[in-house]
Homo-oligomer: A and B are copies of this chain.
Amino acid sequence: MTRRSATASNPILRPISGVLSDEEIRPLRRDAEVNLGRILCAARDVFAEHGYDASMEAIAGRADVGVGTLYRRFPTKADLFNAVVLAARERVRQITEDVLANVSPDEAAFEFIRRCIAVPSVWRATISPPPWGSTHRIWLTQLAPLLDDIVDRTKDAGTLRIDVEVTDIVILLKAVRAIADLCDTPGSKPSLRFLEITLDGLRPGAPALVHPPLSVGQLARRLDQR
């Protein structure tokens, strides 16, 4: 790969990096700024729908922009995807913290799941990582303690069966995704119905589960592969 680092040239990251001694930082022209926004939204939506297989042309079309414009901002499809994934991860973090702060314990885990599913780009990102590197594994591993917190809290409240684990939650997101693929646009009735059924399966009172859960490490590794 003979190409300068994506993060170094990624314009979204510019406002964050305070000083870059040798490279001059000039602000984007107004129109460029606007287009960058459209591109990111389009990429978020199209990637959410088709995964990494989405074509650059499709994204450009959705953004009402030529492909050239995409490549001026993101040297590579991978870079664009990366940007979207980064944003989605941030979104998940927000949801997690908000649930911990503002949702009653007996609903925490359920609410977390519902909120993730309500934002297509989010759960798409959670379950289908970039097809390279291991950044996803790292991210999920860091997030795990927070999610554990949510799960434990709901178990303590007695509304979540005690033999489920964080990994079950992530797996569930994946399953609902599949249903949405099958039935409709994300967030549709059928997938919500399936979600209801599965959430009911998470409630106490059912017979104990006999198959062991995946460890966070295992799950993260799986997610990193496909």
Given contacts A197-B198, A200-B207, contact A182 B127 (CB under 8 A): yes
Measured between beta carbons, the chain B residues less than 8 angstroms from A192 are 211
> With an 8 A cutoff between CB atoms, is A171 at the interface?
yes
In the bound complex, CA of A200 to CA of B178 (Å): 20
Chain A interface, >50% SS class: helix
Output the residue of A189, A198, A200, A212 with the most chain B CB within 10 A.
Answer: A200
User: Chain B's nearest CB lies how many Å from the CB of A40?
Assistant: 27
User: Chain B's nearest CB lies how many Å from the CB of A113?
Assistant: 13
Cβ contact within 8 Å between B182 and A171:
yes
Measured between beta carbons, the chain B residues less than 8 angstroms from A200 are 200-201, 206-207
Interface residues on A, range: 35 or more
> With an 8 A cutoff between CB atoms, is A193 at the interface?
yes
Q: Which of B168, B184, B219, B222 meets A197, CB within 8 Å?
A: B168
Closest to A167 in B: B190
User: Chain B's nearest CB lies how many Å from the CB of A154?
Assistant: 15
> With an 8 A cutoff between CB atoms, is A101 at the interface?
no
